[in-house]
Amino acid sequence: MANHTAHHPAFTFLRSEFIDALNVTVQEFEHTVTGAKHFHIASDNDENVFLVGLKTVPTDSCGVAHILEHTVLCGSERFPVRDPFFMMIRRSLNTFMNAFTSSDWTAYPFASKNKKDFNNLLGVYLDAVFFSRLDELDFSQEGHRLEFAEPENAESDLTFKGVVFNEMKGAMSSTTSVLWQTLTKYLFPSNTYHFNSGGEPTDIPDLSYQDLLAFYRTHYHPSNAVFMTFGDISAEALQAEFETKVLSRFERLDTQISVPNAKRYFSPVRVEEGYAAEEVKEDGSHVVLAWLLGESTDLAQQFEAQLLSNVLLDNSASPLLRVLEGSDLGRAPSPLCGLEDSNKEMSFMCGLEGVKREDAGKVEALIVSTLKDIAENGVPQDMVDAMLHQLELSQREIGGDGYPYGLQLILAGLSTAVHSGDVIAQLDLDPVIADMRGKVLDRQYIPNLIKSLLLSNAHRVTLTLSPDDVLEARRNKAEKDRLSRIKAALSDEQKQNIIERSAALKERQSQVDDMSILPKVGLEDVPARLPQYDKHKKAGDLPVTFYPQGTNGLVYQQLVIALPELDEEEMSYLPLFSSLIAELGVGEQDYLAVQERQAQVCGGLGASNSIRATLEDRQSVNGYFVLNSKALVSNVVAMSELLKDTIMNVRFDEVSRVKELVAQRRARREQSITGQGHSLAMTAAASGISGYSAQQEAWGGMTGIRSAIALDDALKADDSAAMAVLTIFSRLHGKILKASKQLLMVAEPQYEEQILTDVLPVFADLPQGENVNHFTFPKVNQSIKTAWLTSTQVSFCSKAFRTVSGDHPDVAALTVLGGFLRNGFLHRTIREQGGAYGGGASFDGSTGAFRFYSYRDPRLTETLADFDASIEWLLSEDHSEESLEEAILGVIGSMDKPGSPAGEAQGDFYVDLHGRSLAYREKYRANILAVTIDELKKVARAYLTKENESVAVVTATAKRDELEALGFEIQALEA
């Protein structure tokens, strides 16, 4: 049994508590000299996680905290190389590496299952954060700099460059980001949240190098730090590393960095601003109401606010969301609806998008009158109980399919830790849930919360954000005029300094560092075998696969149905059908009753499609329709009944509901463009490679987004269009209902027998059809040269090459090639020199597409040329075995990345279902480990050729003339 009070002598033990719902022990320590806190979440999980968080409190929108986060990772005292962070990504088996800038903290987390690798990364991270070199050239690269458009010609135009500068141009092209930043500017009139911690592109060039150094000296100190760890390495061992490598060199800092509470309004504020748009649409405005609440470190206040937010907005049956979804004042509820509790002071927001500007007052009146009505009439007790049930379920669930589970727990407590709150209480919600169960017995409890937190709260902001079709042009002109003024004021000596600085930075970016000073893992540290999962198959009318996994009292259930042959119309509507089926009525119950039922018995119901090309032919696919849910073990029968009722008796007669859902889906898809532009460009570029890749573009690419917009417009114009969609849904449903079915279940082993005994009778009368192996899409084989124009300040570029797929012997080399080109060439040319936020290459072995990409890129044609230059670099130069090993490590690391217990089981099930047996995967892994540099060159010569090439970009409308001259086919989202 681990000693949960054992600690290093430099630390003081404060307390320890076992949290039953999470099966972890949380320990709290304080470094005696500096006051640095250490929270350790002791677990038997071998994926160890480290995070150091610092309270960072900007006083303007120059982006100092964000630029510092980037620059800190560009070399340190013990590791004086130019880019240790990205170098370590290549020399590591990490399961997670990143850095985050929030509104009031900066965090540096990583995770690894390999102890040697964990210790390597710990040394690099500690040195980077506390002993960073902060070279002025790195500040120029990562933050901002002046350069001439022709770097050696002082007569050419001046430009602003910098990774963060371009990243934030991309980020602030998102209307949702503009909405959030504008709202918080008014909601927090007097403290750090008033400013954009990421940096406003208009303000970033105001930040000086000296400002950066001053901010680092005060904020990056152990007295202002919190260390948070998770896993099976002891707190004592970790603290020994902290003390030896960092803390022994510091004294306590007298200055306390804090966030004062915002000055409160005595009467609600109404404001209007604009966002950049291609055209001014009559119904293009966003209207959001926001209230400033209490402190997030007060757990009682936080939980009350969370419960209230869930009761009001959790699902379509929730009283406020129901009104917002049903209102004809807007297209869909605002993406900001809900509680924001990561800041020191919480805020609650709700509103509509797709509103007529003149209707802003009506939206505000609707929300306020709805809140008054709920406060007066109350909410059903079973709805409140259902929300407490949802909180308990989310408390118990072991995540890990996005971020590592340990990191999710750490992030859940980070804001509380940074603001000196009670982290253990924040993680141990069972006592709070139990306390709340008593409070909600008072039927006036929720109405009173609505009155006290919202209706009687004068600190309310109503923001109307409306489209402005000349804002972007004004902004570009202001930047151009600013650069012209700067240039006009430059002396010859200053011009020469800019030229010399550009040359020095380029030289620094091209230098080859001695990487041997960085620690590394090698191929000898790679686990020899893939993990094997225990699974029990049960034949019968409904075949069942049961995975016994440590799920902490939850059961995961999926009904897996082989996709039948569908006609072209049915196929085009399949993703929409899947996204809507769990949102409609079932049998005698309308959709509102079904939403309530879902909240009471499970963690929601969802549907998806698992489709993958066969190993033998990329034009042929295996496809499955999947209905899934999760619940506490005690609710497994009720969940199974709900799942069966949904697939058997879903209703296709709720026309207004379908119109609501389509409008919401359209809004989400449009909002995704600036965040997922690189994926959308890659999907478009690869769309000519096979029928399946063409279908992926039609479903999930820019073409799919255009279809979502057109469908929403059609449904608004004519109810008969909605009826036509429901008729297609009904046909689709009829075919799926007749197809072969099986059940996938994941739960803890001690519950297996009882679960199967209870659940199988529920599905006894489920119709079972013939097994369908696979179906084909129409064959496609064509080159693409497409440009999608939208409202963005940056570009997303992609080239795709037609290669081989499935079990072809060249697949392993093509897989390694992506990381090899990124590590050796693309990262330097596209990110460091070109200023894009990211760029690289990857291979899709299912469709046989090798794809280059860039993300939030200030360049376009130059980046496309760099993709070609990387191929030339590969073929014309000699390369080291070490660089090959790094690329292979990256592939193996991504293959071995752990998920949640349920996620890993489900992943194992589906790779097997799609014909990728364990034997096939082990052979593929062995082929990856055996790839040679000669093979990389061979596949590049064979496949990365002009005749196999397609190109697609997602970029700004202003690029139209340039792209037409280059022969691109121009596409727009709306006709």
SS3 call for 156: coil
* CA distances for 93 relative to 36, 114, 841, 875, angstroms: 29, 7, 19, 28
Residues 50 and 95: beta-carbon distance below 8 Å: no
The residue count of the chain comes to: 975
Q: Which of 700, 695, 628, 633 is nearest to 909 (CA)?
A: 628
Residues 229 and 299: beta-carbon distance below 8 Å: no
Which is it for strands 741-747 and 544-548: parallel, antiparallel or unpaired? parallel
As given in the structure block, the two tokens for residue 578 are 């899947």
Residue 11 is inside which H or E element, if any? strand 11-19
N-terminal to C-terminal alpha carbon distance within the chain? 67
Q: Which of 834, 936, 838 is nearest to 886 (CA)?
A: 936
**Strands annotated E in 758-881:** 775-776, 785-790, 796-802, 838-844, 849-855
User: 279 an active-site residue?
Assistant: no
* 674: CB partners within 8 A, 6+ apart: 170, 171, 173, 174, 177, 792
* 607: CB partners within 8 A, 6+ apart: 577, 578, 579, 581, 582, 625, 626, 627, 628
* 928: CB partners within 8 A, 6+ apart: 812, 815, 816, 888, 891, 892, 895
Residues 832 and 898: beta-carbon distance below 8 Å: no
CA distance 469 to 479: 17
* CA distances for 668 relative to 334, 512, 664, 673, 676, angstroms: 10, 44, 6, 9, 12
Q: Is 376 exposed, middle or buried (0-12, 13-18, 19+ CB in 10 A)?
A: exposed
Order of strands, sheet of 849-855, starting from the edge strand that comes earlier in the sequence? 838-844, 849-855, 796-802, 949-956, 785-790, 969-972
Q: For residue 401, how many C-alpha atoms fall within 13 Å in the half-sphere facing its CB? A: 11
* CA distances for 223 relative to 27, 319, 947, angstroms: 19, 46, 60
**Strands annotated E in 412-486:** 460-468
134: left (phi over 0), alpha (psi -120 to 50) or beta: left
Which one from 28, 47, 69, 147 is the annotated catalytic residue? 69
CA distance 43 to 232: 5
* Longest alpha-carbon distance in the chain: 86
What's the DSSP call for residue 869? H
What's the DSSP call for residue 188? S
CA distance 40 to 410: 9
SS3 call for 201: coil
Residues 463 and 175: beta-carbon distance below 8 Å: no
Q: Which residues are marked as active site?
A: 69
